[in-house]
């Protein structure tokens, strides 16, 4: 299957956020792919608020099934959440469970003015009432496939599809 | 007979934390790395995450302790677990109930985790061997055997200030003989690759054949503290002292108490640690305890994050 070029999707995503513009907002990337995207968006859009990052491992709903993620990274929200308009950034939107966890975690830092969601790929398959305000592309993918963002050393982003049953 | 490490399941996954002895560096580092993320949680407005919601954690303290019990309680509460504190020294045991009967009763109340402090070495091991396989046990200090979460929070503190373990000289000073903290520290330090671990103590406060643990032995502070990066003080354990192990607290302070003068022999950027509670004027001078090389209070703060990490890793490692 021919996957779209992540760099082109990124440009279109940045354009959509920019054209919505005017509003002063902060970006929060979700580890790991979402943080790469958020870093690029932060630069591209010239955002003044420092960039936030979230690792939602402590808020996941599958802890009882799979335990703690083996490499949890610290969450860092270097701005006042209370009263701030926030755009959450993730690479792939699928079941919506990661976003649910991220929203829960953000509220433990304060009461934001609003939260919207930007994602490079919306692959459908939602299990929760969650929608993205900014999307690079919507793709239908078979349920046995995992879609993941990769970053080369040069910083170039690309999409990779692999079988769920296989280890990465 | 070779037993596998009772803390690990057949796949090498951590099920209980009983001692730092025999744990691979990968597990120790995983705990330290996870704790880094919990430090952020403890600095937020809402210092609580939902990870262990619905879990019941029993603090089983057969020996009095305020600080350790409190830090475990705070750690469990910040993970949203329900915490039940049992001060058994004054409860069931005084009515004659055995240790394992107490544990059976609490297991029947659907406990998910036991935090055990006991004056007898091996008590936490005994409980870990006895409980259902879905119950996890953390040793919060057993006799003079082990105190692994204290050692892990010490390792966390060292890494925070010194970044890397592989180029450090570390001195542990004081009552090594009675100290479960010292034993757990020595195992953790050597596993994490600290090239030079020293113990400094009078002969009467050193276990026999302590060199076998891979440490260098000093009886003289001036020699032992020279050029060290980390000074780990121990509490003089009056309550465990039998017979004439030392002449008097004053005399101990004269030779082994950490004063600014003695500390000046260590590296200029050396940090000073103490597991608490401190005996000021016995093992440590107030000028050092409150001085700018002291990281004693950060140790307490990091202790909560480290205990949160241990609890959540264990709770997530279901068989």
Average pLDDT score, chain B: 92
Q: CA-CA distance, B192 to A153, in Å (whole number)?
A: 30
The pairing of strands A52-54 and A85-93 is: unpaired
pLDDT at A65: 87
Question: Is residue B1's pLDDT more than 50?
Answer: no
Q: Per-residue pLDDT tens for B15-44?
A: 999 999 999 999 999 999 999 999 999 888
Distances (CA, A) of B28 to A98, B25, B72, B143, B266: 28, 5, 18, 22, 27
Least confident of A81-95, B227-241, B254-268, B287-301: B227-241
Instruction: Find the Cα–Cα–Cα–Cα dihedral A35, A40, A45, A47, rounded to 10°.
Output: 50
pLDDT at B239: 66
User: What is the value of pTM for the model shown?
Assistant: 0.91
**Which whole number is the average pLDDT over B10-18?**
95
Least confident of A62-76, A103-117, B70-84: A62-76
Q: Per-residue pLDDT tens for B138-164?
A: 999 999 999 999 999 999 999 999 999
Distances (CA, A) of B257 to A159, B153, B172, B179, B229: 61, 23, 12, 16, 18
pLDDT at A168: 44
The overall longest dimension of chain A from CA atoms, in Å, is 45
- Among residues B81, B26, B43, which one has the least CA distance to residue A63? B81
- Contacts with A63 from chain B: Cβ below 8 Å: 51, 315-316
Nearest CA in chain A to B78: A58
Cβ contact A72–B318 (<8 Å): no
Distances (CA, A) of B136 to A24, A91, B22, B68, B194: 48, 36, 18, 18, 30
Average pLDDT score, chain A: 93
- Contacts with A58 from chain B: Cβ below 8 Å: 37, 41, 49-51, 312
pLDDT at B22: 94
10 Å Cβ neighbour count for A83? 10
Closest partner CB to B50 (pick from A59, A70, A76): A59
Element (H or E) spanning B165, and its range?
Answer: none
ipTM field: 0.81
Q: CA-CA distance, B189 to B149, in Å (whole number)?
A: 13
Question: Is residue B273's pLDDT more than 60?
Answer: yes
Question: Is residue A97's pLDDT more than 60?
Answer: yes
pLDDT at A166: 60
pLDDT at B181: 96
In which band, very low, low, confident or very high, does the pLDDT at A24 lie, cut at 50, 70 and 90? confident
Q: What percent of chain A has pLDDT over 70?
A: 96
- Among residues A61, A128, A105, A113, which one has the least CA distance to residue A82? A113
Least confident of A35-44, B2-11, B42-51: B2-11
In which band, very low, low, confident or very high, does the pLDDT at B285 lie, cut at 50, 70 and 90? very high
**Which whole number is the average pLDDT over A127-152?**
94
* Mutation target vs B (from A60, A63, A82; most B CBs, 10 A cutoff): A63
Strand-pairing partners, residue A117, are A88
- Contacts with A66 from chain B: Cβ below 8 Å: 316
**Which whole number is the average pLDDT over A83-97?**
97
Q: Per-residue pLDDT tens for B53-93?
A: 999 999 999 988 888 999 999 999 999 999 999 888 766 56
- CB contact set of A48 (below 8 Å; sequence gap of 6+): A24
Nearest CA in chain B to A102: B49
Q: CA-CA distance, A147 to B160, in Å (whole number)?
A: 36
- CB contact set of B172 (below 8 Å; sequence gap of 6+): B182, B185, B186, B197, B198, B199, B200, B215, B232, B234
Question: Is residue B2's pLDDT more than 60?
Answer: no
pLDDT at A22: 62
Which residue, chain included where needed, has tokens 């209070």? B297
Which residue, chain included where needed, has tokens 């000093």? B218
pLDDT at A20: 86
Q: What percent of chain B has pLDDT over 70?
A: 94
pLDDT at B200: 97
What is chain B's Cα-based Rg? 19
Nearest CA in chain A to B317: A67
Number of H helices, E strands in chain A: 4, 7
- Tokens at B288, concatenated: 């050092």
- Contacts with A68 from chain B: Cβ below 8 Å: 34, 51, 312-313, 316
pLDDT at A70: 80
Q: Per-residue pLDDT tens for B97-125?
A: 788 998 999 999 999 999 999 999 999 99
Question: Is residue A167's pLDDT more than 60?
Answer: no
Q: Which residue has the higher pLDDT, B294 or B204?
A: B294
- Tokens at A154, concatenated: 């040069």
Closest partner CB to A72 (pick from B34, B317, B318): B34
């Amino acid at each position: 299957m021919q996957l779209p070029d992540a760099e082109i999707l990124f440009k279109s995503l940045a354009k959509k956020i920019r054209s919505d513009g005017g509003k002063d907002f902060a970006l929060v990337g979700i580890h790991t792919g979402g943080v790469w995207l958020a870093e690029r968006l932060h630069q591209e859009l010239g955002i003044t608020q420092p960039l936030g990052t979230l690792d939602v491992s402590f808020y996941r709903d599958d802890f009882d099934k799979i335990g703690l993620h083996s490499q949890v990274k610290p969450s860092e929200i270097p701005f006042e959440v209370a009263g701030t308009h926030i755009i959450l950034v993730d690479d792939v939107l699928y079941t919506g469970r990661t976003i649910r966890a991220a929203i829960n975690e953000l509220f433990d830092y304060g009461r934001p003015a609003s939260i919207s969601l930007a994602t490079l790929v919306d692959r459908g398959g939602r299990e929760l009432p969650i929608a993205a305000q900014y999307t690079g592309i919507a793709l239908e993918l078979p349920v046995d496939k995992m879609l993941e963002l990769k970053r080369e050393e040069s910083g170039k982003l690309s999409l990779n599809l692999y079988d769920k049953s296989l280890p990465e | 007979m070779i037993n596998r490490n009772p803390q690990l399941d057949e796949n090498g996954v951590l099920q209980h934390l009983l001692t730092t002895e025999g744990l691979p560096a990968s597990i120790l580092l995983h705990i330290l790395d996870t704790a880094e993320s919990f430090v952020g949680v403890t600095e937020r407005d809402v210092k609580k995450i939902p990870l262990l919601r619905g879990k019941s954690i029993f603090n089983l303290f057969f020996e009095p302790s305020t600080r350790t019990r409190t830090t475990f309680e705070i750690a469990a509460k910040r993970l949203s677990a329900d915490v039940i504190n049992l001060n058994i020294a004054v409860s069931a045991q005084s009515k004659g109930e055995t240790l394992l009967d107490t544990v059976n009763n609490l297991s029947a109340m659907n406990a998910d985790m036991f935090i055990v402090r006991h004056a007898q070495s091996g008590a936490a091991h005994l409980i870990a061997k006895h409980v259902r396989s879905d119950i996890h046990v953390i040793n919060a200090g057993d006799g003079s055997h082990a105190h692994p979460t204290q050692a892990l929070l010490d390792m966390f503190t060292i890494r925070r200030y010194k970044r890397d373990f592989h180029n450090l000289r570390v001195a542990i000073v004081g009552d090594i003989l009675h100290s479960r903290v010292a034993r757990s520290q020595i195992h953790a330090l050597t596993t994490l690759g600290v090239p030079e671990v020293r113990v400094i103590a009078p002969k009467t406060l050193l276990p026999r054949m302590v060199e076998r643990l891979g440490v260098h032995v000093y009886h003289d502070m001036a020699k032992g503290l020279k050029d060290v990066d980390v000074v780990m003080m121990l509490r003089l354990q009056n309550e465990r002292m039998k017979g004439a192990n030392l002449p008097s607290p004053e005399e101990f302070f004269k030779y082994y108490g950490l004063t600014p003068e003695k500390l000046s022999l260590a590296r200029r950027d050396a940090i000073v640690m103490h597991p608490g509670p401190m005996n000021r004027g016995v093992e440590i001078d107030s000028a050092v305890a409150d001085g700018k090389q002291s990281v004693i209070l950060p140790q307490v703060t990091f202790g909560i994050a480290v205990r949160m990490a241990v609890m959540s890793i264990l709770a997530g490692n279901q068989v």
